[in-house]
């Protein structure tokens, strides 16, 4: 009797990122090439992360599989996932061709197991962290020498914004101009350590109804919005330069203003699409109003809202202004889940926010939970595996 | 004892107009010159009107006065009103200079009395009808030979959109290019009789709070929106041609689509302004959703929404589709005020609108009254005077 075939495993966690210059519009829907560059903040994996284990073994047979939050995903018919796997395998095959002593992992079936530590119901875009974790875990399993920037080209094909989750801190996704997408990749603008006191408070809004899926929405905008071309070709490139300067100079006032303006610009071209697309609702607007009030009271920009393809508000602020921003929100909705963990500890409730009654009531009734987090780093290789030594999925989180 | 000096009176009613290509942005704030042309539908004076009497007499002394809905308005410090009065007086003075037999009305104090037949609380822009009625009544009093087009140059200085209320049917306000504004005036595109079965259902939304006043909002947009320039220079001129063609051809599908797109484009540049401007709320969006549902059920565009600087929805439709559009709304909110009068009679409640529950509930709780109306004609000279023979205000409505 021989030993059972060896099992190869590698595990990683990957972060969520929230754009401050928004990605909305594809110039190539197969390759996920965007109409404009974008820039995001990588959030701390202490709060939000996808944990993925990639495993391969001669003993595995059949199709590659992905178990996500305990459910088998149909990755065979997902062109996006297949594109990532194919690309990663070909890079591994190149290594194996050069060094015959390497195990032939590129020929083995992959078993992928992935878990998000945040509720799907929270309406947080999990695809970015998910594809970043998948690409990072397989690249580690395959011991690929490619840099995060090079791997971002692969993750991008899984989900556009996933390319930005392969790095920490402030990450730009350069749109590129080439037809094959070979210059459309992520680049670190500054690491998390550059501005470590940047915080994010996420207000999870109980949406009555799922909005238009982002891929479909983006295409509607590209095809129909008459205001969008100016955004793609002129407004975003200018804003991107400005916000990079603000980040380098740690100028929160400029950073915050541009963040808010770009969120509004994105939702404006959604409204200008045909049929029009709405992601924000009255609760979102109450959150905007709370931020505007905090800034007015402070006499400067101490908080900045941004909204993705849904009603949730993400509010950026600096640790030193926690009381003026997150503290006000905490005093309004102290009993909902989420005021816990390292980032929440320093948020003292502030009853002197001066919000108007309507804003208070709308937030009280419309926000279902908060997530207190901050800027964070790149995906991390960890030794907690979601596949045991016999190749079976296990839960460790 | 001599007779008391003669009293001169002239009375008019003037209509409200609701733009389908929106006016939003001034290139000259003193002369009320717009950044783009606009186009509106004049609504029937059976439903909404301002009634104004202009009177002059040697027996009047002191400043000109305006009694609006029973309250003395401070017109002395209103530059806009003074500009209108000065312009009208100078035209009268020209007539008097040519014909010495004419009474010297241009030298007499004016007493103006004005009443709106709609509640101010309805949040309907009354300034358009108000300035149109004021200019029309004084022009009639002065027996000015100027055409409505020429008078529109004067009304425009009172309130931009007032220039469009001097004519009936479909009225364009040509932005013009001259610095002195002499080519920025209204022009009838088609009379009401061209498309007499065009109807408008206004959903009056109980706004929690007054939005940004439009003059201030417009300036914010002009100064800060990065998306607005494309709208001003490119998008609106193209749309205006398209909607004029749709009007001439009585093509409701094109008319409705362009109307909705232009409303969305206007609110998009509001959102893109800094600070951002919101006029629509969740009730407005429920109205949009109801219109979208009616169109989907009909398999074509039978209804078109448009929103001005507030949350009220105006829904245009053709009489033949009353059941499919206004009927659905009537079945949801049958007990609120406004389902009365000639235009409402033909609206049979339709319980088969297929609206989703959330839209139903939002409309039920958020709409406080409706106004059932339709396309209508130009200001009308009437002999009901709001000033009696002794020069005292009387109410006749």
Nearest CA to A116 out of A24, A29, A45 is that of: A45
Which residue from B minimizes the CA distance to A258?
B274
Q: pLDDT tens digits, residue range A162-190?
A: 999 999 999 999 999 999 999 999 999 99
The verdict on a CB contact (< 8 Å) between B281 and A276 is no
Q: Does B281 touch chain A (CB under 8 A)?
A: yes
Q: pLDDT tens digits, residue range A45-103?
A: 999 999 999 999 999 999 999 999 999 999 999 999 999 999 999 999 999 999 999 99
**Residues of B in Cβ contact (< 8 Å) with A253:** none
Q: Is the peptide bond before A344 cis (omega within 30 degrees of 0)?
A: no
ipTM higher than the 0.90 cut: yes
Q: pLDDT tens digits, residue range A296-353?
A: 999 999 999 999 999 999 999 999 999 999 999 999 999 999 999 999 999 999 999 9
Residue B300 has pLDDT above 60, yes or no: yes
Which stretches does DSSP call E strand in A233-323? 303-306, 313-318
> pLDDT at position A336, please?
95
* Pairing mode of beta strands A303-306, B313-318: unpaired
Q: pLDDT tens digits, residue range A12-53?
A: 999 999 999 999 999 999 999 999 999 999 999 999 999 999
**Residues of A in Cβ contact (< 8 Å) with B356:** 209
Residue B45 has pLDDT above 70, yes or no: yes
Nearest CA to A376 out of A25, A11, A26, A40 is that of: A40
* CA distances from residue A389 to A134, A138, B269 in whole angstroms, order as listed: 20, 17, 58
Q: Does B387 touch chain A (CB under 8 A)?
A: no
pLDDT classification of B207: cutoffs 50, 70, 90: low
> pLDDT at position B1, please?
44
Nearest CA to B385 out of B45, B69, B6, B52 is that of: B52
The verdict on a CB contact (< 8 Å) between A281 and B276 is no
> pLDDT at position B371, please?
95
- Number of A to B CB contacts under 8 A, please give it: 75
3-state secondary structure chain B: CCCCCCEEEEEEEEECEEEEECCCCEEECCCCEECCCEEEEEECCCCCEEEEEEEEECCCCCCCEEEECCEEECCCCCHHHHHHHHHHHHHHHHHHHHCCCCCCHHHCEEEEEEEECCCHHHCCCCHHHHHHHHHHHHHHHCCCCCCHHHHHHHHHHHCHHHHHHHCCCEEEEECCCCCCCCCCEEEEEECHHHCCCEEEEEEEECCCCCCCCHHHHHHHHHHHCCCHHHHHHHHHHHHHHHHHHHHHCCCHHHHHHHHHHHHHHHHHHHHCCCCCCCCCCHHHHHHHHHHHHHHHHHCCCCEEEECCCCCCEEEEEEHHHCCCCHHHHHHHCCCCCCCCCHHHHCCCCCCCCCCCHHHHHHHHHHEEEEEEEEECCCCEEECCCCECCCCCECCCC
Which of A210, A264, A266, A306 would best serve as a mutation to test chain B binding (most B beta carbons within 10 A)? A264
Least Cα separation, residue A89 to chain B (angstroms): 44
The owner of tokens 């949730």 is A312
Q: pLDDT tens digits, residue range A195-227?
A: 999 999 999 997 666 778 899 999 999 999 999
- Topology of the domain comprising A198-374: Alpha-Beta Plaits (3.30.70)
Over residues B291-307, mean pLDDT: 98
Q: pLDDT tens digits, residue range B349-395?
A: 999 999 999 999 999 999 999 999 999 999 999 999 999 999 999 97
**Residues of A in Cβ contact (< 8 Å) with B285:** 278, 281
Residue A158 has pLDDT above 70, yes or no: yes
Q: pLDDT tens digits, residue range A362-389?
A: 999 999 999 999 999 999 999 999 999 9
What is the CB-side half-sphere exposure of residue A268 using CA atoms within 13 A?
33
Q: Which two tokens stand for residue B101?
A: 């037999």
Which residue from B minimizes the CA distance to A291?
B275
Q: Which of B227, B275, B358 sits opposite A292 (nearest CB)?
A: B275
Which of B237, B267, B268, B311 would best serve as a mutation to test chain A binding (most A beta carbons within 10 A)? B268
Least Cα separation, residue A94 to chain B (angstroms): 48
> pLDDT at position B2, please?
52
Task: For residue B92, report the phi and psi dihedrals to the nearest 5 degrees.
Answer: -65, -40
> pLDDT at position A141, please?
98
Class of domain B7-191: alpha beta
**Residues of B in Cβ contact (< 8 Å) with A208:** 358
Which residue from A minimizes the CA distance to B238?
A226
Provide the residue ranges of all domains of chain A, joining segments of one domain with +: 7-191, 198-374
Residue A1 has pLDDT above 50, yes or no: no
């Amino acid at each position: 009797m021989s030993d059972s075939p060896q099992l190869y495993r590698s595990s990683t966690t990957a972060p969520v990122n929230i754009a401050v210059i928004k990605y909305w519009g594809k110039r190539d829907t197969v390759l996920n090439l965007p109409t404009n560059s974008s820039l995001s903040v990588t959030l701390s994996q202490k709060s939000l992360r996808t944990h993925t284990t990639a495993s391969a073994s001669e003993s595995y047979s059949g199709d590659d599989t992905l178990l996500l939050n305990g459910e088998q995903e149909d990755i065979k018919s997902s062109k996006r996932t297949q594109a990532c796997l194919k690309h990663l395998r070909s890079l591994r095959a190149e290594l194996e061709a050069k060094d015959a002593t390497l195990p032939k992992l590129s020929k083995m079936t992959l078993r992928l197991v992935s878990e998000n530590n945040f509720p799907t119901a929270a309406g947080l875009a999990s695809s970015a962290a998910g594809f970043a974790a998948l690409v990072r875990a397989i690249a580690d399993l395959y011991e690929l020498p490619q840099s995060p920037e090079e791997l971002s080209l692969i993750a991008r094909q899984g989900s556009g914004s996933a390319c930005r989750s392969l790095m920490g801190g402030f990450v730009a996704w350069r749109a590129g101009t080439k037809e094959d997408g070979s210059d459309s990749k992520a680049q670190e603008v500054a690491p998390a350590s550059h501005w470590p006191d940047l915080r994010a408070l996420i207000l999870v809004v109980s949406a009555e109804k799922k909005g238009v899926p982002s891929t479909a929405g983006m295409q509607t905008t590209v095809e129909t919005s008459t205001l969008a071309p100016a955004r793609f070709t002129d407004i975003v490139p200018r804003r991107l330069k400005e916000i990079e300067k603000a980040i380098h100079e740690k100028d929160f006032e400029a950073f915050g203003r541009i963040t808010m303006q770009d969120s509004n610009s994105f939702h404006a071209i959604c409204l200008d699409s045909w049929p029009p697309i709405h992601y924000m609702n009255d609760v979102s607007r109450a959150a905007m109003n709370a931020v505007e009030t905090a800034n007015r009271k402070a006499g400067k920009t101490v908080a900045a809202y941004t909204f993705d393809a849904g009603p949730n508000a993400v509010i950026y602020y600096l640790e030193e202004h926690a009381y003026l921003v997150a503290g006000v929100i905490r005093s309004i909705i102290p009993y909902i889940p989420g005021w816990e963990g390292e980032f929440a500890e320093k948020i003292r409730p502030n009853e002197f926010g001066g919000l108007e009654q309507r804003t208070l009531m709308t937030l009280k009734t419309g926000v279902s939970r908060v997530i207190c987090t901050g800027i964070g780093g790149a995906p991390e290789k960890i030794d907690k595996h979601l596949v045991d030594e016999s190749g079976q999925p296990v839960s460790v989180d």
